[in-house]
Structure 1
Amino acid sequence: SFYYISVFTILLLAVSATSILGASFESRQYQQVFCRGNANGIRALVPGSCSKYFECQNGQATEYSCPNYYDFKTRSCVDYNPGCTEAKSVDESAKPK
């Protein structure tokens, strides 16, 4: 019984770590291709985030971060959630409520 719990825990941690690292890699790939052919000032949310966004300048995407949320419609940082659902990391989901 203990063996199966240990194996399950290790597999769960491996899958979780892979998901987080995969999302980070995906975000970097997105950043590299997002501004190709887009005008300066174009913005997009960082995949999986409600507070970070990319902005294009001279074909390069620069990442910016808001204290709370980024509202795509107003193109600004805001204190209210504009309807975004943020992907949770393992650390955040493990916090007691």
Structure 2
Amino acid sequence: MPDFVKIDKEIIKDIHKDLNRQDIIKNLIAYTRKRDIKVIAEGIETKEELEKLIELRVDYVQGYYLNKPEAKPSQIRKDLVQEILDLNKKYKR
């Protein structure tokens, strides 16, 4: 049983515009919640993708919108941290 499931960036791309992709995520979240598995969405490149994924209740996010990959990870900008916190409040997480 895995601890984490990572959603490929090809499913994440333009998720805010694609109801079929949103259904994939909803079904995956329903499955993983029952099994205490955390979901990571990779490849987030826009604010709209981030918002939709938080609305869909993904546990963790990563992608160029948040930070570029580096050998030693750096801190996420404070404004993005606040954006994520605000979106979590908006969707009551």
- Length-normalised TM-score, structure 1: 0.29
With a CA cutoff of 8 Å and minimum separation of 6, indicate the structure with the bigger relative contact order.
2
Q: Which has the larger radius of gyration?
A: 1
- Length-normalised TM-score, structure 2: 0.30
Q: Which structure is higher in strand share? A: 1
